[in-house]
Amino acid sequence: MYEANTIIKDLRVLTEHFIPRRIIHRTGQLEVLRDNLKPLVNEEIPRSSFLHGPPGTGKTCMSQYIVDELKAHTPVLSAYINCWSYPSRFKILFNILQSLGHNFINRKGTPTDELIDTLKNKIKNRPCIIVLDEADQLEDEKILYDLLEIEKVCIILIANTETLFATIDPRIRSRLQSIDRIEFRPYSTREIFDILKDRADLGLVNDAISAEQLTKIADLSGGDARIALNILRIAAEEAEKKDAEKVSDSHIERAAPKTKNLEADRLLESLNTHQKILYGIVKSSKEISSSDLHEKYLSTCAEKNIEPIVDRTVRKYLERLEAFKLVASSGEGRWTIFKISS
């Protein structure tokens, strides 16, 4: 009943949240990010960075890796915020302060401007890196201006689309002119294979999976390292449940659809109210034009007694749904057609 694992040596290593001992196939991006942050070591002003690219291309992993690396060499402060979970200006500031060890007596009664003053006092001219992951979920981009106005604060923005600043307030956009844009393209099959091999060597017993099977997983991943790692983990767990000595092709074939279903469920669960409304309208239609989608969105909000969001936020949310491959579009402008991704 309580026998030791026969295949999995270290489950942590097989998860997307594990920070590896080395970054594979992202040398160029890593060096640029290092150069941007290097001034912090000498208590000089660093350059903020914007990491953009599709899901599963190593953006979050690299940001956490580089912050850990820097903290090993200098007493820099840091905070990591996922904007899916904390999209508002208040929640971001509140959670940054909590990450930096600030204790609140009364959360609800604290004005946002007071949080900014508290953050300035907490940092006190010490170098500080703030990572805003899933930044295309920001409800109020003014938070970017707030943070960049604080001396010695450096931000690392992470988003799936490069168009994050396209509809931003001009005053905030001008403040972001100096931010360094670093692109993360989808991994090739060979690169995914190398990432899987590295994790399998650390997380599985010797010879638990073959090179051919790692290639099979890489082929199924579509260049998304997160999906690849989840297929590997679920296949290894399937093999252990069956008391197998090795991962087989059938374990991988069962793991792949499970992984993709879990990923889709996770994404749908994390959508906010307006994103769920937009997704639901597209899902209920074989295909729908952007103008009809907008009309149905407004009528749905009226039916549910929900205040609708402005047009530019609707466009941003639709881009978000497309980036996560929940919906697909064709055409441009008012003639854009939306449908559920196949």
List the domain boundaries for the chain.
27-183, 187-268, 271-340
> For the domain with range 187-268, which CATH number is right: 1.20.1290.10, 1.10.3720.10, 3.40.50.2300, 1.10.8.60?
1.10.8.60
Q: Identify the DSSP state of 195.
A: H
Calculate mean pLDDT across residues 42-47.
Answer: 86
Neighbouring residues of 155: CB distance < 8 A, sequence distance ≥ 6: 48, 49, 129, 130, 131, 132, 144, 147, 148, 179
Q: State whether residue 159 is helix, strand or coil.
A: strand
Same fold, 27-183 and 271-340: no
Q: What integer is the mean pLDDT of 219-239?
A: 96
Q: What is the pLDDT of residue 324?
A: 81
DSSP 3-state of 225: helix
Angle of the 273-284 helix axis to the 290-303 helix axis, nearest 10: 120
- Name the 3-class secondary structure at 49: strand
Q: Which residue has the tokens 């930096």?
A: 100
pLDDT of residue 108: 64
Name the CATH topology of 27-183. Answer: Rossmann fold (3.40.50)
Residue type, 107: R
Q: How far apart are CA 327 and CA 21, in angstroms?
A: 36
- Chain segment 271-317, per-residue pLDDT in tens: 889 999 999 999 999 899 999 999 999 999 999 999 999 888 898 88
Over the stretch 110-121, which tens digit does the pLDDT of each residue have? 788 889 999 999
β-bridge pairing 153-159 and 49-52? parallel
Q: How many CA atoms lie within 13 A of 209 on its CB side?
A: 35
* The Cα angle at residue 19 between residues 67 and 182, in degrees rounded to 5: 55
CA distance 281 to 297: 7
pLDDT confidence of residue 210: 97
CATH no. of 271-340: 1.10.10.10
Mean pLDDT over 241-249 rounds to 93
Q: Tell whether the model's pLDDT for residue 206 goes beyond 90.
A: yes
Residue 93's Cβ-count burial label (10 Å; 0-12, 13-18, 19+) is: buried
In this prediction, residue 107 has a pLDDT band, given cuts at 50, 70 and 90, of low
The Cα-based distances of 236 to 34, 46, 61, 171, 227 in angstroms read 35, 42, 22, 51, 14
pLDDT score of 2 more than 50? no
